[in-house]
Amino acid sequence: MRIDTPAGSILCDPWVNPAYFASWFPFPDNSQLDWETLGQVDYLYLSHLHRDHFDAKHLKRFVSKKARVLLPEYPTSELEDELRELGFTDFIKTVSEEVIELDGGLKVMIQALTSPTDGPIGDSSLWVEYDGVRLLNQNDARPTDLATFEALGHVHAHMLQFSGAIWYPMVYELPQAAKTAFGKQKRERQFDRTWRYIDDLKASHVFPIAGPPCFLDDELWKFNDIFGDEGNIFPDQSVFMKEYAKVGGNNGVVLLPGSVTEITATSIETTHPTDVDEFFANKAAHLEEMRERKRPIIEAEKASWRHPEIDVLKEMKRRIEPLLEESIYLAKGVGGPVRFDLVGYDGDSVESIVVDFPGKEVRRYADEKVRYRFRTERALVEHLLFIDEVDWVNSLFLSCRFSAARIGQYNEFVYAFFKCLSEERLQYAEGWYDEHQRTTDAEDITIGDWVVQRRCPHLKADLSRFGIIDGDTLQCQLHGWRFDLPSGRCLTGVGHQIRARRAGDPAPSTEGEKPEAAAPTA
Ligand code: FES
């Protein structure tokens, strides 16, 4: 998206080239826009380092290095470092949630989210104001609420994600019926969350953006939402408009690559390069055409992944064991061995490697019970080791080029660890969990017949807004996590006990209580 005002233009997350082992492509295709012209901007905003937002090749080739970078306040300098490497030199280091005034009366504010589960150690939203017209590019960030933006005055344009951007549940080795049921639940939850954000901000106009991606490799083609599968987590903008209308929404605006919207405080006018309804009515044909056109790009990428000279076990040991040694919270949170089944070039032979979190070592699989099992091509892991990738979520897992099985509940620590394969990231994540576990959130609220802690044990959403009680279960609408209230047990993830009691029951004494361990596991 490019925001133009008389006081300057801001280019936001220009993503064109495929991401995550050539699995995700932008849809509709935006590669044929006039990027030479679009890249000549005054400001550049990169919300975070996920590769469907941070497209290094494109930034290097097309975006003016004179652009001033609006930098979110992140705990590590990785975003700035990567941009400097691409040739950007002028950085405006913003302070999270502080409005700054740029030349010509253009005002911006960036809210940075910094938990280890937000993007690759950080995700953000950009608020912009010019001449009384306000815009929020919430993107795919998930703040607990939008109060900070609301407080700055009525917003005219609210851009936010509404579709899926994850591997769940498709990659799990489950019966198809279960996958469909989980996918359906997820799809509904994504929309519910979107309605909640829209309702929070009550902007004049709502723009569904930041996804869904499309999948053009034959192996991943099935993930496109063109088969009428109610469990598909990647609904597109036209589905958004239909669902939004069902909940009374009538201010949605769909943008295609090349669409232009002009907004004032009282008016909006949008022009499109082609008819939007007709475009989505022919979605399958557009995808087919793209698939043929992009095939050589996918083939070229695939040819670069194999590195037979790499001894995967030895390299994983060298890279991962020192981090296991240092890890307290994440290792305890994972609580068991995680197995990688690496399928050889012949498509048949399998090398099984275990990352043993309690034993703090990487070794061959020894016929034991494991907490998670991932199955993927050996070549992909060879490539990760070859390029020294520190974030396997922002590469392997988001590629969806793997299958997974797990015993028990979702375990966020597994993924948090594999996105922190560097000293800097691991230390940050460990510190964050340490602080998070120590912060006892003492405030209670009453919802229906229950008194519960105000902040969600997952990522601290305000349960007076996001909590819904159904019988003895509380669901937090922000990410859909569920809690059994009589026992306080989290039904979605490991650990994360909630404090709850029936209204009318006396509050227990908390004197001498210790904060709960990061993740008690069996
Ligand atoms: S904050 Fe994630 S489910 Fe509540």
| Ligand 1 center–CA 247 separation, angstroms | 23
Q: Distance of CA 494 to CAs 304, 457, 519, 522, Å? A: 38, 11, 6, 10
> Cβ < 6 Å from ligand 1: which residues?
456, 458-459, 461, 476, 478-479, 481
Q: Which two tokens stand for residue 386?
A: 């070859």
Q: What is the CA radius of gyration of the chain?
A: 23
CA of 490 to the centre of ligand 1 (A): 11
Query: How many whole angstroms from 479 Cα to the centroid of ligand 1?
Result: 5
Looking from the CA of 498 toward its CB, the CA atoms found within 13 Å total 37
Q: How far is the CA of 418 from the centre of ligand 1 (A)?
A: 21
> How many whole angstroms from 478 Cα to the centroid of ligand 1?
5
Within 8 A by CB and 6+ apart from 264, the residues are 133
pLDDT for 188 beyond 60: yes
Cα-to-centroid distance, 466 and ligand 1 (Å) = 8
Report whether 148 contacts 201 (CB < 8 A): no
| pLDDT at 460 (0 to 100) | 75
Backbone angles phi, psi at 178, to 5 degrees: -70, -40
346-352: list long-range contacts, CB under 8 Å, 24+ apart: 350/375, 351/312, 351/313, 351/378
Place of tokens 């392997």: 396
Taking the centre of ligand 1 as the mean of its atom positions, its distance from the CA of residue 286, in whole angstroms, is: 37
Instruction: Give 462's strand partners.
Output: 455
**Residue partners of 316: CB distance under 8 A and separation at least 6:** 353, 355, 362, 381, 385
State in Å: Cα 142 to ligand 1 middle.
10
DSSP, residue by residue, 183-240: HHHHHHHHHHHHHHHHHHH--SEEEEES---B--SGGGGGGSS-S--TT-S---HHHH
Taking the CA of residue 463 as reference, the ligand 1 atom at the shortest distance is: 4
Residue of 445, 447, 462, 478 to test ligand 1 pocket, by largest number of atoms within 8 Å of CB: 478
CA distance 107 to 110: 10
Pocket test for ligand 1, best of 185, 479, 496, 498 (most atoms within 8 A of CB): 479
* 153-157, 228-232, 241-245, 455-459: least confident range: 455-459
Ligand 1 probe mutation, 118, 186, 459, 491, most atoms within 8 A of CB: 459
Q: What percent of the chain has pLDDT over 90?
A: 81
pLDDT band at 492; cut points 50, 70, 90: confident
Contact 376, 401 (CB under 8 A): yes
Question: Measured between alpha carbons, how far is 180 from 467 in angstroms, rounded to an integer?
Answer: 25
Which candidate, 448, 447, 446, 451, places its Cα nearest to that of 502? 451
At residue 49, the pLDDT reads 95
Q: How far is the centre of ligand 1, averaged over its atoms, from the C-alpha of 475 (Å)?
A: 9
Segment 496-506 shows an average pLDDT of 86
What pLDDT sits at residue 438?
61
Alpha-carbon span 507 to 371, nearest angstrom? 36
Among 466, 473, 474, 483, which residue has the most ligand 1 atoms within 8 Å of its CB, making it the best to mutate?
466
**Distance of alpha carbon 354 from alpha carbon 373, whole angstroms:** 9
- Chain center to CA of 519: 22
**Residues 114, 122: contact at Cβ < 8 Å?**
yes
* Among protein residues, the one whose CA lies closest to atom 1 of ligand 1: 459
Residues 41-58: tens digit of each pLDDT:
999 999 999 999 999 999
Neighbours of 149 (CB within 10 A): 22
- pLDDT on residue 424: 85
Per-residue pLDDT of 113-128, as tens digits, reads: 998 888 788 999 999 9
Atom of ligand 1 nearest to the CA of 479: 3
Backbone dihedral angles phi then psi of residue 448, each to the nearest 5 degrees: 55, -125
Chain center to CA of 96 = 19
How much is the pLDDT for 437? 67
CB–CB of 383/399 below 8 Å? no
Cα separation, 330 vs 371, in Å, equals: 14
Residue 461 CA, closest ligand 1 atom number: 1
78-90 tens-digit pLDDT = 999 999 999 999 9
Across 367-471, the runs of DSSP E, i.e. the strands, are 372-377, 402-406, 444-447, 450-453, 467-470
**Range 458-463 average pLDDT:** 79
Q: Which of 389-393, 401-405, 474-478 has the lowest mean pLDDT?
A: 474-478
Q: Which residues is 97 bridged to in the sheet?
A: none
Residue pair 318/261 in contact (Cβ under 8 Å)? The answer is no
How high is the pLDDT of residue 521? 26
Task: Quote the pLDDT of residue 331.
Answer: 94
| Ligand 1 pocket: which of 185, 190, 464, 481 to mutate (most atoms within 8 A of CB) | 481
The pLDDT confidence band at residue 173, using thresholds 50, 70 and 90, is very high
Rounded to whole angstroms, how far apart are CA atoms 424 and 106? Answer: 35
Going from the Cα of 494 to the center of ligand 1, the distance in angstroms, rounded, reads: 13
In tens, the pLDDT along 265-314 reads 999 999 999 999 999 999 999 999 999 999 999 999 999 999 999 999 99
What is the number of other CB atoms lying within 10 angstroms of the CB of residue 266? 8
